[in-house]
């Protein structure tokens, strides 16, 4: 799969805004606040998250001062004592406070003021962990696409308006399905796509970035091209005419609602008839990412999945390892 690296440009306005954020946060923190905020900015954290992390650090520094402790002497037990000092608060809130402290120690390591992160391996009980999905293999994903059949155009109802609408919706959904199973698009990605984002001559789709995801450009597979071409040149125009809509969005709903989740809801129901194991849209995207991890290195998969942080991609390694263990038990039983 050929990928093109896309660099995000920064405007003078965005640089000024970032500078103001640094100055604003710096006035509230002691010591290397400017450097810490700069560190977080380089990690591409949002303004809200930066504000949250710096507030966490301020709480932690206040506790250290109260306990007459120095940052270079802080250890694992000190971090747990710090969390216990909050008393009767939820584990979730403690986890939020811990996130900022973890980032601060990572920053100190980069600054060569520490050589370890005493908060790195603290796990709080009762917190929700990454969901493990029932992963479908590549053959099962391919079968979903090939088995997704359209309404019979020779049907006696072919001239009925409801039948025409159903056929158009299925033709659109086939394209949606392909972009999910082969390009691993997230449900939010579909809402952002416009007609211009499909580059037929290059055989690629451009996926815009968001505050939570990076933009990327991914190759279309050969079996998709004809379906995508027919949708762009014929099906989409017929949907617009049928619904009396004007839109630059790639995918248009048949009904009056423009909510894309309705499209995904009906698509998942159709896929469950092909494979009952299909439960969720996220499950299928997770299956695609796990498959990619078997073929490409971590950074490549991070780009393809649109993850802003490589840690988001690493979480899917748990599913990959889970699948490997299942294969070992299935094909190489012990005893």
Given a contact cutoff of 8 angstroms between Cβ atoms, the answer to whether 79 and 101 are in contact is yes
Query: Taken in order 117, 122, 128, 129, is the CA torsion positive or negative?
Result: positive
Given a contact cutoff of 8 angstroms between Cβ atoms, the answer to whether 91 and 126 are in contact is yes
Given a contact cutoff of 8 angstroms between Cβ atoms, the answer to whether 334 and 239 are in contact is no
CATH number of 139-279: 1.10.443.10
Alpha-carbon radius of gyration of the chain = 25
Closest CA to 138 of 277, 287, 326: 287
CB contact burial 102-123 (16+ within 10 A = b; e otherwise): bbbbbbbeeeeebeebbbeebe
Residue by residue, what is the 3-state secondary structure of 189-202? Answer: HHHHCEHHHEECCC
Tokens of 135: 């992963």
Q: Give the torsion through C-alpha atoms of 291, 293, 294, 299, to 10 deg.
A: 140
Q: How far apart are CA 257 and CA 220, in angstroms?
A: 29
Q: How far apart are CA 146 and CA 271, in angstroms?
A: 11
Residue-wise DSSP of 245-287: ----BS---SSS---HHHHHHHHHHHHHHH-TT---HHHHHHH
Query: Taken in order 12, 13, 18, 21, is the CA torsion positive or negative?
Result: positive
Domains of the chain by residue range? 12-110, 139-279
Q: How far apart are CA 254 and CA 284, in angstroms?
A: 24
Question: What angle do the packed helices 76-84 and 91-110 form, to 10 degrees?
Answer: 140
Q: What is the pTM of this model?
A: 0.62
pLDDT per residue, tens digit, the chain (335 aa), is 544 444 444 444 444 555 555 555 445 444 344 688 888 888 877 778 888 888 899 999 999 998 888 998 898 888 888 988 888 888 888 888 888 999 999 999 998 899 999 888 777 765 555 557 889 999 999 999 999 988 777 778 877 888 889 999 999 999 999 999 999 999 889 989 999 999 999 999 999 998 888 999 999 999 999 999 999 999 999 999 998 988 999 999 887 766 777 788 889 999 999 999 999 999 999 999 999 999 999 899 999 999 988 878 888 886 654 444 343 333 344 43
Given a contact cutoff of 8 angstroms between Cβ atoms, the answer to whether 10 and 42 are in contact is no
Closest CA to 274 of 136, 111, 97: 136
Given a contact cutoff of 8 angstroms between Cβ atoms, the answer to whether 148 and 270 are in contact is yes
Closest CA to 173 of 18, 101, 165: 165
Mode of pairing for the β-strands spanning 204-207 and 216-219: antiparallel
């Amino acid at each position: 799969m050929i990928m093109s690296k896309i660099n995000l440009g920064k405007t003078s306005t965005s640089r000024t805004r970032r500078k103001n954020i640094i100055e604003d946060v710096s006035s509230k923190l002691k010591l290397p606040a400017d450097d810490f905020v700069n560190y977080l900015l380089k990690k591409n954290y949002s303004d809200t998250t930066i504000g949250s992390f710096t507030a966490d650090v301020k709480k932690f520094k206040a506790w250290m001062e109260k306990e007459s402790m120095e940052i270079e002497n802080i250890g694992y037990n000190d971090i747990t004592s710090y969390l216990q000092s909050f008393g009767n608060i939820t584990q979730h809130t403690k986890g939020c406070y811990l996130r900022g402290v973890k980032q601060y120690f990572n920053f100190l390591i980069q600054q060569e003021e520490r050589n370890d992160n005493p908060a790195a391996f603290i796990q709080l009980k009762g917190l929700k962990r990454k969901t493990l999905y029932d992963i479908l293999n590549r053959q099962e994903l391919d079968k979903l696409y090939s088995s997704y059949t359209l309404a019979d155009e020779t049907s006696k109802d072919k001239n009925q308006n409801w039948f025409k609408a159903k056929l158009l919706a299925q033709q659109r959904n086939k394209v949606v399905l392909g972009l999910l199973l082969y390009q691993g698009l997230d449900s939010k990605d579909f809402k952002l796509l416009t007609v211009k984002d499909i580059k037929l001559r290059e055989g690629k789709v451009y996926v815009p970035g968001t505050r939570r995801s990076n933009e990327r450009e991914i190759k279309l597979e050969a079996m998709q091209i004809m379906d995508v071409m027919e949708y762009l040149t014929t099906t989409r125009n017929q949907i617009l005419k049928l619904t009396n809509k004007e839109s630059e969005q790639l995918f248009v709903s048949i009904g009056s609602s423009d909510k894309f989740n309705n499209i995904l809801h009906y698509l998942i129901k159709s896929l469950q008839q092909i494979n009952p194991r299909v439960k969720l849209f996220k499950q299928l995207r997770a299956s695609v990412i796990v498959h990619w991890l078997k073929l490409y290195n971590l950074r490549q998969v991070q780009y393809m999945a649109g993850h802003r942080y490589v840690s988001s991609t690493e979480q899917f390694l748990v599913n990959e390892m889970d699948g490997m263990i299942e294969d070992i038990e299935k094909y190489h039983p012990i005893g």
